[in-house]
Amino acid sequence: MVSKIPLRSIHYQWESLLYRDDLSTKKPPEYLFGSSVLSRNKNGQAENVRFSVYFPGGHENIFLIGEFNNWGDCTKEKLNSFLLTPANDGFLHLTTNLCKHKDSYLFLSVNGSHKQILRDPAAKLLNGEGNCIFWDFEDPTTYKKKYSQPNTLHQTTNILQTDVPGLVARWFEYDSSAKTLAESNLDLFTYIRTCGVLEKIKDLGFNTIQFLPLAQSIDGDNWKFRYLVAFPFAIQKNWGDPDSFHALIDHCHKLGLGVIIDLIISHCPFKDYQVCGIKGEDVGVHLWKAKENHELFLDEITPWGTKRFRYGDPMIRNYLTESALFFAEKYDIDGFRIDNVDGILRFGPSGDGEERPHGRLMLRELISSLYEYNPLILIHLESHYFYGDNAKLLVAPLSSDPRALGATAYNSSRLTYFFHTSFMPKTIEEISIWRFEHIREEKEWGKSNSTIADFHNHDAAAGLIEQRATGSYAYDALILKNPDLDFHARGKIRVMESIISFGCEGRLLDLLQTSLLQKGTFEHDSSIHWGLLETNANSKITVLYKQKLNKLLEHAAFWPENTLYRKYVNIDEGNKIIVIKRSDKTQDTKTSFYILINTSSKVHNNYAIGVEDEGRYDLVFNSETINSLAEQSEEEKIFKSTKSTQFEFFSKEIRINTIQPYQVVVLKRSGQ
C-alpha cells in the first residue's frame, strides 16, 4: 500500500512515515535509572539484580534496605554489604541476589548521625505503606502480551478521552447485570478489562482511548490530583499492579483500541500533599539532594506550587525520557499526550515568556527516543501559546529545524478556540462560516494544520474561561439552564461533531459526556453517566449519531494521509451551509464523499450541491433519519448528478429536496 501513496512535500513529522520501509518496533531501550536484572536462574527468575540511583556529588552513604536485611536493622557489617557504590557517571550502584520479584525495598541515607528514608525515583510500583516494589517484568509469572499494537498511521485516530475511574464509576447504571467496582472485589484495571465497557467503546466506533494521568500521583480522589505525579515510572497503586495494567492494555489491543496516556514531565509536587498516607515532605524525588542541599531532580517553583524539573541536567532529561520509554516498552502504550508543553518550553505563568534553556532540548530528546523505539507511536502536545512559527514547529519534522519538535499533532487548535468563543455562545447570524475555511487554509496560528480536533475536552468541561463556552459539559454550556435552547444545543453538537470528523485532519477527540448530553462539570464529576443511554431518548439519539459518524470515519478518505485532498467546495454564507469533499488517493479505493453541513436552524428546499463527477451518488449518512430513528427506502438513498444550472465551477450538481435545521448529509461516489 505504501508504494501507492503519491509523493508529497513533507510538512509534518508523521508524513515522513508514509514513505518509510521499516516501521517496526526496535530493540528495547537500556535504562540507567532504577532496577535491572543482570542474570537469571534456570527457571527464568531474577538472580542478580542491580539498583542504580543518580546521586552525583552526594556525601551521604546510600544503602538498599528491605526484609532481606530487616530494613537496615542489622549488623553494621551486613548493612555495609548493601551500600551503593559510586561510578564515574554520577550514579550509585548495588548488585544483589537477595531481592526477588515483588519484594519491597527502600533506600537509607546515612550522613553521620542523620538518617533519612528515600524512595527509588524510578520505582515501578509503591505499596500501601509507601515501600517501593521490585517488579521483574520478565519473571515467568508476570503477564505477557498476546496481541499486537494497532497501526496508528493508516487510520483515523478517533479518541475517547476519559478519567480512569470515571470511565466505569457509573457503568452499572447501563449494564444492570454488572457489579459495581466495590462489589466486584477487583482492582480498577481488571474491572475495566472485564466489565464490558471496552467492548462498548469499540462498538461506538472509537479506536483509541486517552487516559488522564495514571502514573503514581499524590493521594486523593479528585482527577486533578492525577496531574501531580510524584513517581513517573510507577502506576497508580490504588488501581492495580503492573500485571493488571498490562492485561488491560493488551485487551484494548485485542479489540483494536490504541491507548494514549497523559505524560507529566513539566513539573513535580514537593510539598503540601501525601503519598501512601505519608506527608510530602518525607516522600518524593525532591528528597534526593547533592552537596550544599541542592536538589538533583527539581528546579524553580511553578504557579501551581510544584517545581519544574532540572532540564539543564542531561541525566534528569534522560530520567524523564526513560519514564516514557518504560511505559511504551513494558506496557505497549501507543501514544502520549505531553501536558503543559508551554511550561517546558518557556518561562512565565502561562508559558508565554522567554524561551527556557534546555526545555526544547528536553522535548526533542524525548520525542526522538520514542520514535527510535516505535516509529508509529503517537505524540500529542498540549500547547496553547501560539505566535510566529510556534505551532508549525510543534509538528515539523525533527530533521527540518533545530527548534522542531516533531510531534504527531497538537491540542488547542484555532478551530477549538473558534468553537468556544464564537460558534457555541453566539447565534449563527453573528458569525461567518468562512472562518472554518480560513482555518483550513492555514491562515492562522503558525501556518500549521496537524491538530487534534475537538470542541470540548476535559479542560474545557472543567475550567470556566471568560467569554468562552467552557466550565461545564458541552450540552450544559450550550443550553445555559434554558430548556428552550435544547433543540439548538443538540443541533450545534451535531454540527461540531461533523466538522471535526469530516473537515479536519483525521485526528479527533471527544468526551462521551458530550454525546450523552450530560450536565454538570468535569471539575466536580468526571464520571461518564452511562445510564443516560437508558433513560434519556435524546442522549441515545446523539450517541447513535456519534456512533454512525465514527463508523464512516473508518474509510481511508478520512485518514490523515488523505487530508491533502480535502476541499471545502462550497461555503454558502447566505444559507450558512458548508460542503466538504473528501477523497481517497492513497489506498486505491477510488472513492470520494461530499458532506453537507447545515450550521443553522433554517430549512432549505431544493438545495443544490456542486459535484465534479457525473453519475450515481449514494446517501450513506443522514442525520435526520438518526433523529427520527427511521430508515430511508433504497430509492431515497440514491442520487444522480445532473447538469449544473447554479454553479460556475461545477459542471454537475445534485439536488436535495429539503435540508432540515442542523442537518448533516454524506453522499458517497465510488470509483468506476
Q: How confident is the model at residue 508 (pLDDT cuts 50, 70, 90)?
A: very high
pLDDT in tens, 409-465: 998 788 999 999 999 999 999 999 999 998 888 765 556 678 899 999 999 999 878
For helices 537-552 and 486-502, angle between their N-to-C axes, nearest 10 degrees: 10
pLDDT at 316: 98
Find, among 202, 188, 213, the residue nearest to 150 by Cα.
202
pLDDT in tens, 96-144: 999 999 999 999 999 989 999 999 999 999 999 999 999 999 999 999 9
pLDDT at 148: 96
Q: How confident is the model at residue 147 (pLDDT cuts 50, 70, 90)?
A: very high
SS3 592: strand
Are 158 and 550 contacting, i.e. CB atoms less than 8 angstroms apart?
Answer: yes
In percent, the amount of the chain with pLDDT more than 90 equals 83
What amino acid is encoded at 398 in this protein? Answer: L
> When comparing pLDDT for 484 and 628, which is higher?
484
Which CATH class for the 34-133 domain? Answer: mainly beta
What amino acid is encoded at 385 in this protein? Answer: Y
Paired with 49 in beta bridges are 37, 96
Q: How confident is the model at residue 5 (pLDDT cuts 50, 70, 90)?
A: confident
Burial class (CB in 10 A: 0-12, 13-18, 19+), 587: middle
Residues listed for the chain: 672
Residue 467 has pLDDT above 80, yes or no: no
Residue 1 has pLDDT above 50, yes or no: no
pLDDT in tens, 47-57: 999 999 999 98
Distance CA 249, CA 332 (A): 7
pLDDT at 2: 44
pLDDT at 219: 96
Beta-carbon count within 10 A of 38 CB: 11
Say yes or no: domain 565-670 is CATH 3.30.1330.200.
no
pLDDT at 627: 76
Distance CA 75, CA 80 (A): 9
pLDDT at 26: 87
Say how far residue 198 (Cα) sits from the centre of its chain.
16
pLDDT in tens, 186-224: 999 999 999 999 999 999 999 999 999 999 999 999 999
pLDDT in tens, 269-306: 999 999 999 999 999 999 999 876 789 999 999 999 99
- Dihedral of CA atoms 374, 376, 377, 378 in degrees, nearest 10, equals 160
| Geometric angle at alpha carbon 107, from 103 and 113, rounded to 5° | 140
Are 495 and 599 contacting, i.e. CB atoms less than 8 angstroms apart?
Answer: yes
Distance CA 230, CA 330 (A): 20
Give, for 418, the enclosing helix (H) or strand (E).
helix 414-418
pLDDT in tens, 562-618: 999 999 999 999 999 999 999 999 998 889 999 999 999 999 999 999 998 888 999
pLDDT at 524: 94
| Geometric angle at alpha carbon 116, from 110 and 120, rounded to 5° | 100
Q: Which regions of the chain carry the CATH code 2.60.40.10?
A: 34-133
pLDDT at 426: 95
pLDDT at 57: 81
Buried b or exposed e, range 605-620, using 16+ CB within 10 angstroms: eebbbbbbeeeebebe
pLDDT in tens, 545-562: 999 999 999 999 999 999
Distance CA 264, CA 324 (A): 10
SS3 484: helix
Cell, residue 631: 430508515
Q: Which regions of the chain carry the CATH code 2.60.40.1180?
A: 565-670
Q: Averaged over 500-518, what is the pLDDT?
A: 96
Residue 21 has pLDDT above 90, yes or no: no
Residue 42 has pLDDT above 90, yes or no: yes
What amino acid is encoded at 617 in this protein? Answer: Y
Residue 631 has pLDDT above 70, yes or no: no
Q: Averaged over 467-482, what is the pLDDT?
A: 92
Residue 3 has pLDDT above 60, yes or no: no
Tabulate helix, strand, coil % of the chain (nearest 5): 30, 25, 45
pLDDT in tens, 342-361: 999 999 988 889 999 999 99
Q: Where are the beta strands (DSSP E) in 295-361?
A: 298-301, 307-309, 335-338
Q: How confident is the model at residue 528 (pLDDT cuts 50, 70, 90)?
A: very high
| Mean pLDDT computed over every residue of the chain | 93
Are 532 and 573 contacting, i.e. CB atoms less than 8 angstroms apart?
Answer: no
| Geometric angle at alpha carbon 241, from 236 and 51, rounded to 5° | 90
Question: What is the reported pTM?
Answer: 0.96
Distance CA 133, CA 127 (A): 7
28 Cβ contact list (under 8 Å, min separation 6): 329, 373
pLDDT in tens, 149-179: 999 999 999 999 999 999 999 999 999 999 9
